[in-house]
Amino acid sequence: RYISTFRPSVKREAEKNKAQWKTMGPAKVEVPSPKNFLQKHSKEPKLPARKKEQDSKKLPALSVPRRTDHPVMGVQSEKNFINTNAVAAIKGLPKKPQPIYVDRRQGDKYLLETSGLVPKYIKKKDYGVTPKYVTQRNEKMKRAEKEYEASILEHLKKRAMKQLSDEERRSILQGLKKNWEELYREFQRLSVEIDTIPKKLYKEKLESQMKQLEHDIEVIEKHKVIYIANE
């Protein structure tokens, strides 16, 4: 059987410290003094003492004169303030009353100038005048259009293209609209149930032709100047 080599040393330590558990706590305990009782606010952090010397030196800026201050004496003026005030009152123009408005018969009075009822904006010098940035932008647009038309004319001269007249453009537009109306009538005559392949193909053909005609009509209506190549 296994026996530890530390067995005798453990026994000695146990016998040596056996008397430690005979009492409840330490045998001799210092009794607290009745003078050292817990006082109120004793555990709160204490602020440092205020320095009275520095506080007394720094005085706040006063808006009123101090008791030690004395007015300047001996300064005299020959101006007659009574007469000057009377002359200013006689020659002065009377103050015009401020225009006001009232919201109801016994309501409060408000200034008319800040109410927004006075048409101040139409009395400005630049009222109704086109701003400079708008005129500059319009000039740039017109210049760009002229340059574009000039470049197109040069390009057309090189490729020998001609411009459609207004009558030709109008007649082509009317013909396209007439063709679209005929296709639309054919599309309306189709049966509600398309159950065969030929009917389906015919419907798709009408839809594609109508879309193409709508695109052509939109292009011609959008562009007033149209060029075509000479055959």
Token pair for 141: 């647009």
- pLDDT digit string, tens, across residues 166-204: 888 888 889 999 999 999 998 888 887 888 888 889 889
pLDDT at 54: 57
Q: What is the mean pLDDT of residues 4-32?
A: 75
Quick check: 231 pLDDT over 60?
no
Give the integer Cα–Cα distance in Å for 90 and 94. Answer: 9
Three-state SS at 216: helix
Q: Name the DSSP class of 68.
A: S
pLDDT of res. 211: 92
Q: Which token pair is 163?
A: 């411009």
For the chain, the domains span 102-160, 162-228
Q: Is the pTM of this model over 0.85?
A: no
Using CA of residue 45, residue 51, residue 54, residue 55, what is the dihedral sign? positive
* CA–CA separation, 228 and 231 (whole Å): 9
- Of the given ranges (60-64, 71-75, 134-138, 212-216), which has the lowest mean pLDDT? 60-64
Asked which of 8-22, 80-94, 115-129, 159-173 is least confident by mean pLDDT, the reply is: 8-22
> Which of residues 53 and 107 earns the better pLDDT score?
107
29 or 68: whose pLDDT is higher?
Answer: 68
pLDDT in tens, 136-165: 999 999 999 999 988 888 877 766 667 778
pLDDT (tens digit per residue) in 34-43: 888 888 888 8
199 close to 191: Cβ distance less than 8 angstroms = yes
pLDDT for 109: 87
pLDDT over 70 (residue 59): no
Decide if pLDDT at 55 tops 60.
no
pLDDT at res. 15: 78
Choose among 225, 89, 217: nearest CA to 148: 225
Cα separation of 171 and 196, whole Å?
38
